[in-house]
A and B are shown apart, each in its own frame.
Chain A
Amino acid sequence: MVKQVYYEDVEVGTEITPLAKIATTHMLVQWAGASGDFNPLHYDDDFAKAMGVGAPIVHGALKRAWLGHLMTDWIGEQGKLKKLSCQYRGMDYPRKMKTREEPHDGETWWCKGKVTKKYEEGGEHLVECEIWVENGKGEKTTPGSALVALPKRKRK
């Protein structure tokens, strides 16, 4: 577990600890099974071509779940994720597999974010963040926002 972040530790502009992800065809199959989204757009070459996206694309919901992972890792055990939103703006294409375990070299995605506002309300210490998934070219394909409550340090 990572070190707990406290309300006093963050300011507007504070960066959220980035999280790296590598989408692979293997991962998309696993996600289809675990989420129950069996749309062939995410695993069938011919279908994806017919739908006009060229090749199977990463599920929007998987990128959204990555952003959830980003936030819950950052806020730690004592933080509370209250809201999360994102928009599916750009398509992402998974790396293909080289072996049963290893993908080919290629793109790495980064989940990132920064604090945009901090305030107290209803006895909670709230922090708003701008978050996004960035592809290998640095494009934000999945921008969004999050609202979290962070713990406050106890007065000594």
Chain B
Amino acid sequence: MANGSLITDELRKLIGVTLETIVFKVEEGAIQRYAQAIGDPNPLYNDPDFASRTKYGRLLAPPGFTGWPVKAGRLSDRLLESLLKAGAPSRLLDGGVEFDFVEPIGAGDVLTATTKIANMTERETRLGKTMFTTLETTFVNQKGNVALKIRSTFILF
């Protein structure tokens, strides 16, 4: 195993497969609490009356908010478990995240998020033999349109 690939056949089989589908409701109060936690006083995220008079017609979510709990760029226990079961190394670092904002997300939206493993690579790093896994989550809104795509990279070693 020491000289073998970290990416087992079982792991390779997971690439491209939808591993998780979750439905999120985007609630007004959750948006406000999120904006307050960032420290962003933008009335689009804080003042429903103001926001309803804008082109958005409703309280807008700050970029990256997709309903509570915010899944954006996080590895759920269930996904991590699938990876571990397939033989992935168990130590984990969050490598970063990439957002593609397609349509505005706001209060009252219902988002269906599907997550798949887009990519797996490995190389030698200062952590030793290291595996990079890229997850891609697509959020589709109640109108059936893609609202957001998130690619997040996790470092397993």
Binding site for B on A (CB under 8 A): 21, 27, 30-31, 33-37, 60-62, 64-66, 68-69, 71-73, 77, 80-88, 144
Contact A37 B70 (CB under 8 A): yes
From B34, B54, B96, contact of A35 by CB (8 A): B34
Let me know if B96 and A83 touch, CB within 8 A.
no
Interface string of B96-137 (1 = CB under 8 A from A): 111111000000000000000000000000000000000000
Residue B4, interface by CB 8 Å = no
Distance, CA A65 to CA B99, complexed state (A): 11
Q: How far is the CB of A126 from chain B (nearest CB, A)?
A: 13
Within 8 A of A (CB), among B9-42: 30, 33-34, 36-40, 42
User: Chain A contacts of B87 at CB under 8 A?
Assistant: none
A-B contact pairs, 16 of them (CB 8 A): A31-B38, A35-B34, A35-B37, A35-B70, A37-B69, A61-B73, A64-B73, A65-B34, A65-B38, A65-B62, A68-B63, A69-B62, A72-B40, A80-B101, A85-B97, A88-B93
B63 engages A61 (CB within 8 Å): no
Does B59 count as interface, using CB distance less than 8 angstroms? no
Query: Are B38 and A62 in contact, CB atoms less than 8 angstroms apart?
Result: yes
Residue on A nearest B42 in the bound complex, by CB = A72
CB distance from A56 to the nearest CB of B (A): 16
Q: Does B57 contact A (CB under 8 A)?
A: no
Contact A61:B70 (CB < 8 A) given known A68-B62, A82-B100: yes
Q: Are B98 and A83 in contact (CB under 8 A)?
A: yes
Q: Residue A68 contacts which of B30, B37, B64, B73 (CB distance < 8 angstroms)?
A: B64
Interface residues on B, range: 20 to 34
Q: What are the residues of chain A within 8 A of B36 when measuring CB–CB?
A: 30, 34
Distance of A31 Cα from B100 Cα, bound (Å): 23
Assembled-state Cα–Cα distance A64/B30 (Å): 18
CB distance from B150 to the nearest CB of A (A): 10
**Residue pair B94, A85 in contact (C-beta under 8 Å):** no
Query: What's the Cα separation between A69 and B54 when bound, in Å?
Result: 19
- Residues 48-90 of B contacting A (Cβ, < 8 Å): 54, 62-64, 68-70, 72-74
Q: A36 with B100: in contact, given A60-B94, A64-B73, A88-B95 (CB under 8 Å)?
A: no
What are the 8 closest A-B residue pairs judged by CB atoms, nearest first?
A36-B69, A87-B96, A34-B37, A85-B98, A68-B63, A34-B33, A31-B37, A35-B70
How many Å from the CB of B136 to the closest CB on chain A?
Answer: 13
Chain B residues with CB under 8 Å of A65's CB are 34, 37-38, 40, 62-64
Q: Which of A31, A65, A66, A88 has the most CB of B within 10 A?
A: A65
Flag if A86 contacts B96 (CB, 8 Å).
Answer: yes
B38→A69 contact, CB < 8 A: yes
Chain B proximity of A82: nearest CB distance (Å)? 6
In the complex, chain A residues whose CB is within 8 Å of the CB of B70: 35-37, 61
